Amino acid sequence: MHDLVIREALLFDGTGAPGYVGDLAVSGDRIAAVGRDVGRGRREIAADGLALCPGIIDTHTHYDAQITWDPGLTPSPGLGVTTVVIGNCGFAIAPCRPDDRDLTMRNLTHVEGMSLDVLRAGIRWDFETFPEYLDAIARTATVPNVAAFIGHSPVRTWVMGEDATRRAASAEEIAAMRALVLEALRAGAIGFATSTAGQHNGEGGVPMPSRLADEAEMRALNGALGEAGRGLFMLTKGSHTTIAFLESLAAESGRPVMIAALLHNSTRPQQTFDELDAIAAAQDRGRRLFGQVSCCPLTNDFTLWSAYPFEGLAAWLPAMQAEGEALRAVYADPEFRARVKAELDHPAGVRLFNGEWDKLRLLEVARPENRNLEGRTVADLAAAAGRHPLDWMLDFSLAEGLDTLYTAVLLNSDEEAVGRMLRHPYASIALSDAGAHLTFFCDAGFGLHLLGHWVRERAAMPIEEAVWQLSGRPAEIYGIRDRGRLAPGMAADLLLFDPASVGRGPPQRVHDLPSGAPRLVTPARGVHGVWVNGVQVADAGGPIDDDARPGRLLRDFAA
């Protein structure tokens, strides 16, 4: 007798094939049978036409710190996610020597929008090397399955110390870094992750270490993947990094290259499509390049105490280096304002904010007398005052003690263009950033948004294609064995949902982080069950709090 049988479900197997009504049986942690006459189960669920598919594989998360204090990796499992990949962009916390821990945490407060108090109170530093970090995860056990990239920035810091953010590496230092990457791959890393993106800055606006790497360093570390014969090269692309260069890396190592973050910019509407077409041309030449795209509009809630959307501007650097009264003085400085305005007058392809003031809205004011302004755009408010939007925003925020809360729709706001991106043959849908930017946004429910908004409401793709994008496709690209499909012998990672109501709810602010700090979460809609390795971790009421940690640390990946 099977442990579980789900009957009369609309089965989507994760291959892209159309759905069909049938049963699925689970024995232990594996799918035992799919179809008709699968036998009896100790527990049986009548799906009555609900859809059943493989659990969502979220390949772009930043749970590297959170995993040390929250093995549940909330809110992802309740949103249908059964496997997460951490360490993206190279912003990991291992390897890390004790003397570098505070620097690592301070950098994460800027590049990933994390609270320093939360990191200091929450991170359990029971490791130094990357293999020790993996072992610590395995000892703790988690709710979802976890795979981890070895990250460029911590590798660079381990080898170069404070010089990691100051200069190019020597040949000896590059060799030492390559040895660390090889060690990590052999210990079970899913690949190597890095970033050249201009908005990726650490404390005080100092570039994250990976941004100082030259071509020789990138080629050497990519070469470790070829030497190991395993792993994926993941890069968040800056403006000076070309698709041609990334194709050459794929040619040298023979390994897949995942290029993030391909988001649509309305001020340069063709750029992302040009990059996706270049990726397609590389694929035609036999290179395994993929473009990571998002099905969500990129939004940020922020105050000018930490104005992350503006930190990709070179002219904003003085604000990143200042605190308290010094920060107020920067914002009041006419020369600072003039430099920011001049830079915004020149559109760029990869920065977050591009002068679209009509997409920046007053979310919450600090003074009661200003409450009537909430909900209006900065563009409208500035026009009514006869002022430049930057001047209006800075002066208004200064008058409110910099506590004014804004919300900005930064990228991916053109839904027709985003729909075209999602359907590109070499686009991989991800970029949830789950675990990071906790006070700015929460896209951990990206998969439910794809199924609800893009499949049901906009009919941008058939549901079987969306399920494939969320399960079978990432499993194939990343070499994740035994997951991403409904078939006998595969891991019983499952998502049961109602296609008529599936989606993500509005963001909610909760105070459940270490030290009581707040974060944004989004509730699931239309989810009726989530199973990880055969153990149910969520039902129609949300996550099941029974201390079950069925997740596995994934270390063995297909070549």
pLDDT per residue as tens digits for the range 345-357: 987 656 788 899 9
442 shares its domain with 348: no
* Tokens matching residue 5: 């049988």
Residue 57 buriedness (CB in 10 A; 0-12 / 13-18 / 19+):
buried
Residue pair 240/388 in contact (Cβ under 8 Å)? The answer is: no
- Longest CA–CA span in the chain (Å) reads 75
Residue pair 26/2 in contact (Cβ under 8 Å)? The answer is: yes
156 shares its domain with 256: yes
91 shares its domain with 202: yes
For residue 20, the cross-strand partners are 11
Q: Could you tell me the CA-to-CA distances from 229 to 232, 235, 254, 478 in Å, in that order?
A: 10, 19, 8, 13
265 shares its domain with 405: no
Question: Count of CB atoms within 10 A of residue 507's CB?
Answer: 17
> Which of 447, 423, 428, 429 lies closest to 502, judged by CA?
447
> Within a domain: residue 157?
yes
DSSP label of 349: S
pLDDT of residue 441: 81
> Within a domain: residue 488?
no
Total count of domains within the chain = 2
> Within a domain: residue 224?
yes
462 shares its domain with 365: no
The CA distance from 156 to 210, in Å, is: 7
264 shares its domain with 340: no
203 shares its domain with 242: yes
Name the residue type at position 243. Answer: I
pLDDT of residue 308: 84
> Within a domain: residue 311?
yes
Q: What is the 3-state secondary structure (H, E, C) of 159-180?
A: HHHHHHHCCCCCHHHHHHHHHH
The CA distance from 540 to 356, in Å, is: 39
For 64-78, b/e burial (b = at least 16 CB within 10 A) is bbbbbebbbbbbbbb
> Within a domain: residue 129?
yes
Q: Where does a domain end: 481, 509, 527?
A: 481
Q: Could you tell me the CA-to-CA distances from 200 to 142, 196, 352 in Å, in that order?
A: 29, 8, 11
> Within a domain: residue 513?
no
> Within a domain: residue 406?
yes
Residues 6+ apart with CB under 8 A from 279: 243, 259, 289, 290, 291, 426
245 shares its domain with 274: yes
> Within a domain: residue 419?
no
3-state class percentages of the chain: helix first, strand second, coil last, to nearest 5: 40, 20, 40
160 shares its domain with 210: yes
Residue pair 150/189 in contact (Cβ under 8 Å)? The answer is: yes
96 shares its domain with 204: yes
Residue pair 123/68 in contact (Cβ under 8 Å)? The answer is: yes
pLDDT of residue 547: 85
> Which of 93, 41, 99 lies closest to 65, judged by CA?
93
The CA distance from 261 to 235, in Å, is: 8
212 shares its domain with 340: no
Residue pair 28/3 in contact (Cβ under 8 Å)? The answer is: yes
368 shares its domain with 449: no
Q: At 343, is the secondary structure helix, strand, or coil?
A: helix
Mean pLDDT for back-to-back runs of 10 residues, the chain (559 residues): 98 98 98 96 96 98 96 97 98 96 88 84 96 96 97 97 95 98 98 93 88 97 97 95 98 98 91 97 98 93 90 91 95 97 81 90 95 96 97 97 93 95 98 85 94 98 98 98 98 98 92 87 96 98 91 95
The CA distance from 96 to 56, in Å, is: 30
Residue pair 245/395 in contact (Cβ under 8 Å)? The answer is: no
CATH number at residue 449: 3.20.20.140
Domain assignment of residue 352, given as a range: 307-411
pLDDT of residue 349: 57
